[in-house]
Amino acid sequence: MPSLIGAVILPLSGLLLSLPAGADVKARSCGEVRQAYGAKGFSLADIPYQEIAGEHLRICPQEYTCCTTEMEDKLSQQSKLEFENLVEETSHFVRTTFVSRHKKFDEFFRELLENAEKSLNDMFVRTYGMLYMQNSEVFQDLFTELKRYYTGGNVNLEEMLNDFWARLLERMFQLINPQYHFSEDYLECVSKYTDQLKPFGDVPRKLKIQVTRAFIAARTFVQGLTVGREVANRVSKVSPTPGCIRALMKMLYCPYCRGLPAVRPCNNYCLNVMKGCLANQADLDTEWNLFIDAMLLVAERLEGPFNIESVMDPIDVKISEAIMNMQENSMQVSAKVFQGCGQPKPAPALRSARSAPENFNTRFRPYNPEERPTTAAGTSLDRLVTDIKEKLKLSKKVWSALPYTICKDESVTAGTSNEEECWNGHSKARYLPEIMNDGLTNQINNPEVDVDITRPDTFIRQQIMALRVMTNKLKNAYNGNDVNFQDTSDEASGSGSGSGCMDDVCPTEFEFVTTEAPAVDPDRREVDSSAAQLGHSLLSASLVCITLALQRLYR
């Protein structure tokens, strides 16, 4: 009998010795886990009341657990969703920066062009009356082409501006010589003398440099904001890999399965998980930073001497100044053109000065500068540029900083001050592995995420290429070169679009002579007298408008 009692006691004592020190023989309650699990919106039907054996778990430690297979699956999906939301929330600043600033700049530039066109039309109607209204399509076409260029149209700014001045010269030449009839061939000959005679003074050359530089910078900058917006929106929508999802589940919800729902991940543990999950995004950082630097360079152009607001605001005065230059020199220009292109044919019906087109004095009224709009879209370019430069600087290194930004969130990790009482992936204790460096290739030894460093994310690589192309375009714009037309005017060298000259007189097939104008047929003296009267009338108007222009330029 004693031997039987001893045989029973010995197995019981062996069983007690085999239990972990301090362990309760009775299974622990899953009450806290049930409460936390239900707070996530899940059904409590999935969760046991007490711990169960964990052999069924595929991600979390296979020890006594509060998680069923269904719970592990649901929490795994929950960790994926929370990660995607965390990346979107963390990149919210950079995304909204590009979305909102693109909208503001685009509205500003469009309204600026509309205001400039309206201002020119109002000024020219009041200054030149019917003469302008009868030829207004020349100016309307100028603004149409400027708007088309800004909105992405395939417009060569230099060629377009050259065409504008050639058309304006043809119209002006006919107006100051109403006694003659000019064929299309004759007017084409007239336009060939533009560079030599400089009938509009130096205004076309200066305006060409200003407009091309200003529009190239403005259009390219807005395109850069578009690319930044699209890249940021696309990259912030991550698709975690299966290896990443496993790591996220282990980090965020395996504490639930271990009965520790209130214990948050260790900060360094979180960093390794995030660096593994966002390895490809970190590789975007180098090209992104170069893109931001290029945007900041072009922003300098927007606030420099060639900023589009300072170019477009007084463009009406500048064009008017050019017209006045043409009128002042009308007799000399006409004489030299007649010398080179030949004597034109008389008009079919001769007109006296009284029946000539309305001259520039009619309905003239000085244009009040206060009537001119000084801002567009309720702001100014200086304010917009100052704001965007600050925001762009804050956007640098945003993608490599994502893991750090996410892991310093108190709702995600236990923080750096609580390194002993945090979840390390296995238990509540300090996390010991070293932190990985940024980027895909550095994740080869990541202890938390299984990362295939031989297969870069194709989608991210596409975004890198988009940034690279845009950066190159921005650098060209900073140097005053249009990416589509690399022959844009260079103020320093003074070279023109394919002409090889700008400041100096360019030789043509015609050579001007400095002799006096040929004698006029006696039968045409009356007509020439009328033309002279019109010329004097135009000159008197020009003096008033030049005074106005100077006041505008130096106010």
As a whole-number percent, the residues of the chain with pLDDT over 90 amount to 57
Average pLDDT on 399-403 reads 95
Backbone angles phi, psi at 379, to 5 degrees: -150, -170
**Best mean pLDDT range from 127-141, 331-345, 363-377:** 127-141
Q: pLDDT band for position 373 (50/70/90)?
A: very low
Q: pLDDT band for position 420 (50/70/90)?
A: confident
pLDDT, tens digit (0-9, with 9 covering 90-100), for 267-320: 999 999 999 999 999 999 999 999 999 999 999 999 888 899 999 999 999 999
CA distances from 178 to 235, 359, 530 (A): 65, 12, 9
Does pLDDT of 14 surpass 50?
no
d(CA 254, CA 75): 9
CA-wise closest residue to 553 among 358, 314, 335: 314
Does pLDDT of 403 surpass 80?
yes
Judge contact between 430 and 263, C-beta under 8 A: no
d(CA 533, CA 176): 10
d(CA 133, CA 124): 8
Q: How many residues does the structure list for the chain?
A: 555
Cα 146–chain centre separation: 18
User: E strand or H helix at 267, and its extent?
Assistant: helix 267-277
d(CA 252, CA 258): 12
What is the per-residue DSSP string for 272-307?
HHHHHHTHHHHHTHHHHHHHHHHHHHHHHHHTSTT-
Residues 6+ apart with CB under 8 A from 327: 172, 176, 360, 535, 538, 539, 541, 542
Report the DSSP pairing between strands 345-346 and 180-181.
antiparallel
Average pLDDT on 12-19 reads 36
Does pLDDT of 446 surpass 80?
yes
Average pLDDT on 218-246 reads 95
Backbone angles phi, psi at 226, to 5 degrees: -65, -45
**Best mean pLDDT range from 123-127, 245-249, 301-305:** 245-249
Average pLDDT on 257-263 reads 92
Judge contact between 132 and 359, C-beta under 8 A: no
pLDDT at 478: 93
Q: 515: how many CB neighbours lie within 10 A of its CB?
A: 8
Does pLDDT of 62 surpass 60?
yes
d(CA 140, CA 170): 16
Crossing angle for the helix pair 381-394 and 285-302, nearest 10 degrees?
A: 160
| Greatest distance between any 2 Cα atoms in the chain | 159
Per DSSP (E only), the strands in 127-244 are: 180-181
What tokens were used for 293? 């630097």
pLDDT at 416: 79
CA-wise closest residue to 308 among 161, 147, 200: 147
Q: 454: how many CB neighbours lie within 10 A of its CB?
A: 8
Does pLDDT of 250 surpass 60?
yes
d(CA 396, CA 529): 70
What is the per-residue DSSP string for 22-34?
T--SSPPB-HHHH
Q: pLDDT band for position 376 (50/70/90)?
A: low
d(CA 33, CA 49): 9
As a whole-number percent, the residues of the chain with pLDDT over 70 amount to 77
Backbone angles phi, psi at 320, to 5 degrees: -65, -40
pLDDT at 146: 97
**Sign of torsion over alpha carbons 414, 415, 417, 423:** positive
pLDDT at 197: 80
Q: pLDDT band for position 375 (50/70/90)?
A: low
pLDDT at 26: 54
Average of per-residue pLDDT values in the chain: 80
Average pLDDT on 195-215 reads 91
CA-wise closest residue to 341 among 202, 180, 499, 501: 180
pLDDT at 346: 86
Does pLDDT of 526 surpass 70?
no
**Sign of torsion over alpha carbons 242, 245, 247, 253:** negative
pLDDT, tens digit (0-9, with 9 covering 90-100), for 317-341: 999 999 999 888 888 888 888 888 8
Does pLDDT of 515 surpass 60?
no
d(CA 290, CA 295): 9
Average pLDDT on 115-138 reads 92
pLDDT at 410: 85
Question: What's the whole-model pTM score?
Answer: 0.76
pLDDT, tens digit (0-9, with 9 covering 90-100), for 152-193: 999 999 999 999 999 999 898 888 888 988 888 888 888 887
d(CA 542, CA 414): 77
CA-wise closest residue to 286 among 399, 435, 455: 399
d(CA 512, CA 17): 117
Q: pLDDT band for position 377 (50/70/90)?
A: low
Backbone angles phi, psi at 58, to 5 degrees: -105, -20
Cα 227–chain centre separation: 6
